């Protein structure tokens, strides 16, 4: 029985561990993306070019979210090595697997294709990301009372019943004892 249990753990364990690490990395990218976008927006507005702003964000943001810093550094190294920008962004999108990073890559690629100012497109996307994050937080906050009501009912109902039934039990005991 122990051997079967160990075989099952050895078979499914690495896959489960890898899945948890992938989910942890994706969550790290998702949480850090709005801050990285804001810092990149500030760097672009301060006069840095897009590539310099991405390098600056990768360097400065490494202390807060190393995952995003690594991904941006890898992407910039790919561009420096001669990979076309659109393919480098496609690889960034594929590596992270996060919707926010995919949207960011699409915004940058569309801005380059249509010739719009990258700072304006970036600012719009950063505002959209902040609003999306705020809406997700509001959704979680609105679900909280519903989730709390079951827990409160489970803990409060026995206490309320005890409070209501104790005087009745005392009266019965006094009446029924001779």
Arithmetic mean of pLDDT, 76-95: 88
Find the mean pLDDT for residues 54-76. 86
Nearest-angstrom CA–CA distance, 156 and 142: 22
Which pTM value belongs to this model?
A: 0.68
> 39-48, 102-111, 134-143 — which one is most confidently predicted on average?
134-143
Burial class (CB in 10 A: 0-12, 13-18, 19+), 68: buried
Q: Look at residues 30, 54, 28, 29 and name the one whose alpha carbon lies nearest to residue 42.
A: 54
């Amino acid at each position: 029985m122990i051997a079967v249990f160990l075989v099952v753990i050895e078979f499914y364990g690495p896959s489960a561990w890898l899945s948890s690490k992938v989910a942890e990395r994706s969550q790290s990218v998702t949480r850090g993306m709005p801050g990285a976008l804001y810092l990149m927006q500030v760097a672009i507005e301060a006069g840095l070019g897009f590539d310099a702003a991405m390098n600056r964000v990768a360097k400065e943001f490494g202390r807060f979210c190393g995952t995003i810093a690594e991904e941006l550094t890898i992407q910039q190294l790919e561009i420096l090595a001669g990979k076309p920008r659109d393919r480098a962004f496609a690889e960034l999108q594929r590596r992270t697997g996060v919707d926010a990073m995919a949207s960011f890559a699409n915004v940058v690629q569309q801005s380059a294709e249509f010739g719009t100012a990258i700072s304006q497109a970036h600012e719009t996307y950063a505002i959209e990301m902040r609003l999306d994050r705020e809406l997700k937080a509001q959704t979680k906050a609105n679900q909280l009372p519903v989730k709390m009501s079951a827990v409160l009912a489970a803990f409060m109902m026995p206490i309320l019943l005890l409070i209501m039934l104790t005087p009745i039990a005392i009266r019965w005991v006094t009446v029924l004892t001779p």
